[in-house]
Amino acid sequence: MIVETDISRQVCFLTASRRVFCLALLLIILPAPRYSGGADGIVLSLGSLSGEDWLAEELLLRVTWSTGDLARFSLTATRIEHPLLTRPLIAPRIDCQEGSVSGREVRCSKGEMSFAGGGLGKVAFPARFHWDSLDHVVQFSFDRLAFAGGLLASDCELRDNTWSCAVSGEQLNLKKLPGALAAFGVEAPNATLSGPLDLELSAKGDAQGVKGGRWKVGFHTAAFSDSRGEFLGEGLTGWWKGDYKRSRGGFQGQQILSLDRGAVLSPFGFLQPGKKPLVIRSDFVLSKGLERLSFNRFVYQHPGILAFTARGELNLSPRLVPVNLNLSVPPTDIARFLDHYLMPVLGGTSLERLRASGRFSMEMQQGKDMEVKLKLVDAGVDYLAGDGSGRSDLAIRHIDSILYWHSAEPPAVSNLSWRSGHLYEGITIGPSELFLSLAGSEVALKKPVAIPVLDGSLQIERLVLGQQDEDSSLVLMGYLTPISMSVVSQALGWPELSGMLSGMIPRAAYEKGVLKLDGTTLVRVFDGTVLVRNLQLEDLFGLLPTLQAEIEIKKLDLETLTSTFSFGKITGKLEGKVSGLRLEDWQPVSFDARLGTPVDDKTSHRISQRAVDNITNLGGSGVSGAISRSFLRMFKEFGYSRLGISCRLHQGVCEMGGVEPAQQGYYLVKGGGVPRIDILGFNRRTDWKVLVDKLQQISEGGTPVVE
């Protein structure tokens, strides 16, 4: 016989200690009928039960006895809400195949629990259940629940005002985990995950909520990537564990993460353990609403590479923002830090040619504003040449510095000093000390400085470095004191030049990867002057540096110039212009050059036989005059009235000309005096590479080969 009883539409409890008392009381006051010769049972319609922070709607208990206290029963509801659940359970049901019901307890040693799993359909798994009405204890457990490609087990208990629950997972598949969690209303991060996961979770609480718990997560050859592909992890093996307990206004605890193998790549750096695990440990305090996280001690340890400690407070919602943060990095090897953290990220950029040495330490404070103190000890920087030779285009050695930076206001004056350096291997840079102000995105020189360069110096009057979004900028004003050209030529491996090199830098500006020199830069060389206007450099230390400029030459001394390059002696002055000059990878690709004797030149004009031969061969030209060429060879030098040459370079071809047109061709040298000599050019178009080869032969003291 089946007895059906509708107890009430709703039963409310004011304290957690009486949450199960109602159902226990019903089982006591409605003892199981016992009739011989048939199955006995009852159906209890309990309506809805609720407490301060939980609700069970439309509870229904069906019990069927077989022999003695042995029974089969089911407990169903339409909906259950509880703080431990991320969302309500819909249509939960417990079916017990082997159980017992008495006046004191309900026990199920073999049963099944199920509920609606949202878009995943019905979720069902084996479960055990025990209800002791006198001790006010409810126990619930299950094991070997198929979940996310692995197995889950759980053991939970509700006793008077307290509860506890432990969950363990074995070989859970990270790829399947987001979908499995969705059945419980848990939204996983928008990322691609893979690899196995083991976990152990435990928590305990009371009527006020969670009191504390522990966790341990083990992962092996795990991988991840975010939706944009900016953050990547591969082969990650290690573990993460910690514990927490309720504190005033939230939770406090400690955690430790050990990464034994694998690698993480992000736009900010590269992370990979070495022979020893990379370990992160900290204490923490988490607010009740999970909107703020603080820690008194955060320790990062990457043995042999990097270690730092920190303390601070972070806002977690609506986005991660440091409220205050203090970080300290003890003396650290710069080369190891760059090699492990930055160089893998810089691959494919010009910065991959950067090399550094020495040690650095750092202190950082983040509050309303940020302050940083960076100390460099015996540091060095090399920027390697792009040809793979291992040479340094730029090197600064033995750097000692204390730099202070503030995000808003100018901090204490920083100093940056070095003992030696060089540019393009041969141009030496002497010891210097710079006094700087670092604030916001700007670095400014506080007072003028003289930087020794070869046997002169670069005087910097003003220097400002800035950063706007992703673009860097530079403003430089100063001048170069006289440097011996013989020293310059020796440093660069050129033929020995005479004279002095000096110049003014009215204003140099670097923006969006382009270096521009405003105004006119003056260079003194070969006892004359070279004026450079509209100088512009792009990708200076990149794979294809590009230079553009307009050049004006005034009264260079030809005797000094020609003797330097073994061209043959020519006396007099030279002036001219080079318009539209463009160099790519330091090789000319286009220009329009015109060089010749100044109109007002009153100096002696003499030209040697060797110079005549070289000019003749350069132009593919001939010598004309009243006296034969063989007779002219009796003279060592000649007089001339004017000389000059022009070349318009375009697409590898030089369109040539001279000082003036001739009846045939053009004059390269127009004679004057007796014996008279004219040098004519006939080739209007010459291959630029061929012309350069001829000039190279002349500079080395040879005779050009004319084909």
Q: Is the pLDDT of residue 361 over 50?
A: yes
254 - beta bridge partners?
243, 283
Q: How confident is the model at residue 73 (pLDDT cuts 50, 70, 90)?
A: confident
CB atoms within 10 A of CB 389: 9
**Residue 341, CA distances (Å) to 63, 263, 266, 272 in order:** 65, 11, 10, 8
In this predicted structure, what is the pLDDT of residue 628? Answer: 40
Alpha helices in 215-290 (DSSP H): none
Quickly state the pLDDT bin for 341 (edges 50, 70, 90): very high
Token pair recorded at residue 194 = 């893979």
> Quick one: pLDDT at residue 19?
39
Res. 84: pLDDT tops 70 = no
Give whichever of 131-140, 209-218, 499-508 has the largest mean pLDDT: 209-218
Q: What is the bridge-based pairing of β-strands 414-418 and 370-384?
A: unpaired
Task: Report how far residue 657's alpha carbon sits from residue 301's, in angstroms, rounded to the nearest whole number.
Answer: 71
Extract the tokens encoding 196: 């196995």
pLDDT in tens, 28-38: 333 333 333 34
Query: What confidence score (pLDDT) does residue 9 get?
Result: 35
Give the pLDDT score at 248.
Answer: 84
Check residue 514 and give its pLDDT. 84
Task: For residues 477 and 464, give the distance between their C-alpha atoms in angstroms, rounded to a whole number.
Answer: 9
Spatial CB neighbours of 299, under 8 Å, sequence gap ≥ 6: 279, 280, 281, 282, 307, 308, 309
Which helix (H) or strand (E) is 643 found in, with range? strand 637-650
Token pair of 396 as six digits: 């600064």
Q: Span 448-477, mean pLDDT?
A: 88
Alpha carbon distance 93, 178 (integer Å): 24
The amino acid that residue 195 corresponds to is G
State residue 261's pLDDT score. Answer: 96
Helix axes 688-699, 609-618, angle to 10 degrees: 160
- Residue 513: pLDDT band with limits 50, 70, 90: confident
pLDDT exceeds cutoff 80 at 633: no
Other beta carbons less than 10 A from residue 17's beta carbon: 14
Residue 662's alpha-carbon distances to 612, 621, 623, 659, in angstroms, are 18, 12, 12, 9
Given this model, what pLDDT does residue 630 score? 52
CB 415 within 8 A of CB 376: no
Question: What 8-state DSSP symbol labels residue 175?
Answer: T
pLDDT at 13 over 80: no
Asked whether the beta carbons of 574 and 597 are under 8 A apart, the reply is yes
Q: Distance (Å, rounded) from C-alpha 668 to C-alpha 684?
A: 12
Number of Cβ within 10 Å of residue 187's Cβ equals 9
- Provide the sign of the torsion angle of the four alpha carbons 346, 350, 352, 356, taken in this order: negative
- Give the position of tokens 């409605």: 30
Strand 40-50 and strand 10-12: the pairing is parallel
State residue 7's pLDDT score.
42
Please report the pLDDT score of residue 165 as a whole number.
94
Burial of 594 (0-12, 13-18, 19+ CB in 10 A): middle
Phi-psi label, residue 489: left if phi above 0, alpha if psi -120 to 50, beta otherwise:
alpha
The pLDDT assigned to 31 comes to 36
69 pLDDT higher than 70: no
Confidence of residue 319 (pLDDT cuts 50, 70, 90): confident
Which residues, 6+ apart, have CB-to-CB distance to 251 below 8 Å? 210, 212, 244, 245, 285, 286, 288
Q: What's the pLDDT band for 421 if we cut at 50, 70, 90? A: very high
As a whole number, mean pLDDT of residues 288-297 equals 90
Of 379-388, 412-421, 657-666, 672-681, which range is least confident? 672-681
Instruction: Over range 168-176, report the average pLDDT.
Output: 94
- The domain segmentation of the chain, as residue ranges, is 554-699
When pLDDT is averaged across residues 302-313 and rounded to a whole number, the result is 95
Structure tokens at 202: 């435990």
What whole-number distance in Å separates Cα of residue 694 and Cα of residue 514? 34
Query: Average pLDDT for residues 576-602, to the nearest whole number?
Result: 93
Q: What confidence score (pLDDT) does residue 673 get?
A: 72
Which regions of 227-317 does DSSP assign to beta strands (E)? 232-247, 250-266, 269-271, 278-287, 292-302, 306-315
Return the higher-pLDDT residue of 689 and 280. Answer: 280
Bigger pLDDT: 187 or 254? 254
* pLDDT for position 86: 67
Q: What is the structure's pLDDT at 48? A: 83
For the cut 80, the answer to whether the pLDDT of residue 271 exceeds it is yes
- pLDDT score, position 27: 40
Say if residue 5's pLDDT is above 80: no
pLDDT above 90 covers a percentage of the chain that reads: 41
Element housing 29 (H / E): helix 21-29
Residue 94, pLDDT above cutoff 70:
yes
Query: Given this model, what pLDDT does residue 462 score?
Result: 94
Residue 16 has pLDDT above 50, yes or no: no
Q: Bridge partners of 334?
A: none
Q: What is the mean pLDDT of residues 525-539?
A: 87
pLDDT of residue 280: 97
In angstroms, rounded to a whole number, what is the distance separating the alpha carbons of residues 622 and 642?
A: 17
Helix (H) / strand (E) containing 564 = helix 558-564
Other residues' Cβ atoms within 10 Å of the Cβ of residue 479: 16
Residue percentage of the chain with pLDDT more than 70 = 86
Residue 340, token pair as written in the block: 């492990």
Distances (CA, A) of 530 to 128, 271, 520: 95, 52, 10
pLDDT at 623: 46
User: 341: which DSSP letter?
Assistant: I
CA distance 319 to 311: 19
* Residue 544 in tokens: 């294809």
Mean pLDDT computed over every residue of the chain: 83
Alpha-carbon distance 168 to 151, whole Å? 8
pLDDT in tens, 543-560: 788 999 999 999 999 988
Residue 200, pLDDT above cutoff 90: yes
Q: What is the pTM of this model?
A: 0.74
The runs of H, that is alpha helices, within 581-687 are 609-618, 629-632
Asked if omega into 178 is within 30° of 0 (cis), the reply is no
DSSP 506-560: EEEEEETTEEEEEEEEEEEETTEEEEEEEEEEESTTSSS-EEEEEEEEEEEEHHH
pLDDT at 118: 53
622-661 burial by CB neighbour count: b if 16+ within 10 A, else e?
ebbbeeeeeebeeeebbbbbbbbbbbbbeeeebebbbbee
Peptide bond into 545 cis (omega under 30): no
Measuring CA to CA, how many Å separate 658 from each of 92, 594, 609?
101, 8, 19
**pLDDT score of 451:** 97
